[in-house]
Structure 1
C-alpha cells in the first residue's frame, strides 16, 4: 500500500497552475528526449538507445533514493502486486522500443500523432480487459479518433514502408501500460510505479544490449547521458503534475507536444509537416479530450 511519507516533495493538491506548469515542462522534456533519440538512432541501434534511456532513469532515481535514505527506500519497494508492476514496466519497455524504432524511420510529428491515439485504444481494450462499458457517445468519439489516425497516416504502401506500422505497436503497448497502471498501480506510491517501470526496462535492455552494442563516439556521449537524464526527469515532472492537480485537468495539455514536435522536426531534421497530419491530429485530439472530460 502507498504510505503518506514524503517520498517526493509535498505539494498541495489544489495548485492547478503549478500542475499545468509541470505538465507543460514534462511534455517539452519528452520531445527533447525523443529528438535526442532520433538523432542517436541514425548511428546506433535503437536497443542501445533504449538501454541508455533506462540506465539513466535508474541512475537518477537511485541517486534520489540514496538521498532519501534506506528506510524510505524500503517503503518504496512495497507494492500490492509485484507481478503487475513488472508487467507495467515490460509494456512501457515495449512501447519505448517501438517508439525508438519508429523515430529512426519516421518524422517525430507523425509518431506523436499516432501515439495520441492510445486513449482511444485504452477505451476499447478496457471493455474486454477491465469489463468497462462504453456508451454510444464514447464509442462515436473513438470512431472519429480512428478516422483521424487514417487521415494523419495517409496512403501508405505497407509492403514497401513497414516502418509505418511501428507507431501502432507503440500506441498499443502504451495503451496496455495505462490499463495495467489502472489495474495494479492505483494504490501504490507514484515513485513505486516509477521505480518498477524503470527497473524492468533497465534489466531487459541490459540483458540484450550486448547483442546490439556499437562503440560510442566521444562526441555522442553527452547526448547519451542527456537521454537517460531526460527520461527520468520527464517522468518525475509528470508525477509532480498529477500530484498538484487532477489528471483530467492537466493531461490535455500534453497535446501541446504537437507544437514542440513540429518545431523539433523542422529545426533539427528539416521535416515539413503535411496538412493531413494536422487535420488527423485535430480529430484524434478532439476525441481524446472528449474521452478525458466526459464520463457518459
Structure 2
C-alpha cells in the first residue's frame, strides 16, 4: 500500500469529515449498548473488532507484505500509544453511559488545548503569547460548556476530562513515536494494546450478549478501526493544520444523533462554550504565533 501524497487537500478534508462521522456513529452505538452492558465489555468489543479487521487485511496482503507493515521504529512507543488510546476509550464509554453525547464531545474538544500545554514539558516545545491566550480562551469555553456542576453529586462529569487528557497524551506520543511508521502499523499496535488489556479484564464484567445486539457489537469494532484509519489517512493526505478543524463538524452530527436517538436537548451554554473551544482549537491548529 503506497503512501498517499501530501498535496491532496480535498481528499484529506474528505477523510477527516468521514472520520468525524464514523466517530459519532461509533459513539452512538456505544451509548446505546451502554444501557445494557458494561462499558468494559463494549471497549473489548471495539478493540477485538478492530484487530479482526486488521488481521484479516494483513492476511489478505500476504505474509511478506503483512509482516513488513508490522515493523516499527519504536515498539514500546507504539504500545504506549495503544494504552493511552485504550484509556481515552474507557473514559469516553463510561462518560457516554452517564452524560449527553454532545457534552462529552465538547469537553473532548479541549484535547488540543492540553496538547499545547503538555508539549511544553514533554516535547520541549515553546508556546507563544498568542497560543497561550488561545488555550486560556478554550478553557473558559470548557467552564461555560459544563455549566454549574455538583461534582460530588455528579462525579461522572469528570470522566470526559480523563478522556481528553488520555487523548491529548495519545496525540503527543503519536507525534513522538508514530511519525515515521506506516499508518497501518500505528493502527495495528494501537489496536493490539487495547485488545490484549481489555481481553484480560473483560471476563470480570461479562454479560451474555443478546442475539439482537450482536450486529451492533460487531459494528462497534468495525467503526473503531475505520474511524482511526480514516483520520490517519486524512493526516497523510494534507497538513494537520488544514484538516484538523474539520473534525469539529462532529458537533453537528453529535447534536443530531443525541437528539434523534436519545432525546437529548443541548443547553445553550453548551453551544456557547463549544464556540470558544473550537475557535481556540482552530487557532492552535492553523497558527504558530
TM-score, normalization by structure 2: 0.98
Distance, in Å, in 1 between the alignment partners of 2:136 and 2:202 is: 39
The root-mean-square deviation of aligned C-alpha atoms, in Å, is 0.9
Runs of 4+ in structure 1 over 4 Å off = none
Distance, in Å, in 2 between the alignment partners of 1:235 and 1:180 is: 15
Deviation at 1:10, TM superposition (A): 5.1
- Count of residues in Structure 1 that have an aligned counterpart in Structure 2: 289
| Higher deviation after alignment, 126-135 or 258-267 | 126-135
Is contact 2:49–2:218 with CA below 8 Å preserved after alignment? yes
**Correspondent of 2:7 among 14, 34, 41:** 14
| Higher deviation after alignment, 20-29 or 208-217 | 20-29
**Correspondent of 1:66 among 56, 59, 72:** 59
Distance, in Å, in 1 between the alignment partners of 2:150 and 2:128 is: 35
Distance, in Å, in 2 between the alignment partners of 1:119 and 1:251 is: 10
Deviation at 1:72, TM superposition (A): 1.4
**Correspondent of 1:147 among 119, 133, 140:** 140
Is contact 2:16–2:244 with CA below 8 Å preserved after alignment? yes
SS in 1 for 2:126: coil
Deviation at 1:17, TM superposition (A): 1.5
**Correspondent of 1:215 among 183, 208, 211:** 208
| Higher deviation after alignment, 236-245 or 198-207 | 236-245
Report the counterpart of residue 81 of structure 1 in structure 2: 74
Distance, in Å, in 2 between the alignment partners of 1:184 and 1:13 is: 20
CA deviations over 1:12-36 (Å, ceiling 9, x no partner)? 4322222211111111010000000
Report the counterpart of residue 224 of structure 2 in structure 1: 231
* Unpaired stretches in structure 2, ≥5 consecutive residues: none
Distance, in Å, in 1 between the alignment partners of 2:7 and 2:181 is: 21
**2:91 is the alignment partner of 1:98:** yes
Is contact 2:183–2:229 with CA below 8 Å preserved after alignment? no
SS in 1 for 2:179: coil
Deviation at 1:230, TM superposition (A): 0.6
**2:97 is the alignment partner of 1:107:** no
| Higher deviation after alignment, 226-235 or 42-51 | 226-235
Distance, in Å, in 2 between the alignment partners of 1:157 and 1:166 is: 14
Report the counterpart of residue 22 of structure 2 in structure 1: 29
Deviation at 1:188, TM superposition (A): 1.2
Distance, in Å, in 2 between the alignment partners of 1:285 and 1:121 is: 13
Report the counterpart of residue 276 of structure 2 in structure 1: 283
CA deviations over 1:235-279 (Å, ceiling 9, x no partner)? 121122222222211111000000000000000000001100000
Report the counterpart of residue 257 of structure 2 in structure 1: 264
**2:160 is the alignment partner of 1:167:** yes
SS in 2 for 1:13: coil
Report the counterpart of residue 3 of structure 1 in structure 2: none
